[in-house]
């Protein structure tokens, strides 16, 4: 594996109950999540944990990149067949990010490492 320089690190902790409350508004869902993220989260029984985890990833990406103006729905979390998450930013094909997620009934946490292009 080629050595790459880390350019940023971000972490975020999201409260599942807060995301559950906000998710009652379809405008929030549209502003924050992509259709693929909604489909992945809503098919599971712990849907609000998964939405909170994706919310945390987006905040962690913003921290790792130090770009507070990045639209939340331009950041997308997808899962590989093994369940492992990956994250991309729309219009930034060269950007390399690493992500890890964990969630419980109460909280979701995500950490993100950004690499120099």
Residues that bind ligand COA (CB under 6 A): 50, 53, 79, 82-85, 101-103
Nearer to ligand COA, 62 or 109 (CB): 109
**Are 34 and 62 contacting, i.e. CB atoms less than 8 angstroms apart?**
no
3-state secondary structure of 17: helix
Least separation in angstroms between CB 69 and ligand COA: 26
Least separation in angstroms between CB 110 and ligand COA: 8
Least separation in angstroms between CB 2 and ligand COA: 21
3-state secondary structure of 4: coil
CA dihedral 29, 35, 41, 43 (to 10 degrees): 120
Least separation in angstroms between CB 91 and ligand COA: 23
Q: Quick one: tokens of 4?
A: 């790459």
Nearer to ligand COA, 62 or 101 (CB): 101
Residue nearest to ligand COA (CB): 83
**Are 49 and 16 contacting, i.e. CB atoms less than 8 angstroms apart?**
yes
């Amino acid at each position: 594996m080629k050595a790459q320089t880390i350019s940023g690190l971000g972490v975020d902790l999201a409260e599942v109950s807060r995301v559950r409350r906000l998710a009652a508004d379809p405008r929030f869902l549209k502003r924050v999540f992509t259709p693929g993220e909604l489909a992945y989260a809503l098919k599971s029984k712990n849907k609000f944990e998964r939405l909170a985890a994706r919310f945390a990833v987006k905040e962690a990406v913003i921290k790792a990149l130090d770009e507070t103006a990045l639209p939340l729905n331009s950041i997308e979390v997808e899962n590989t067949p093994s369940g492992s998450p990956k994250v991309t930013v729309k219009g930034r094909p060269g950007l390399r990010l690493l992500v890890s997620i964990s969630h419980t009934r109460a909280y979701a946490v995500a950490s993100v490492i950004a690499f120099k292009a």
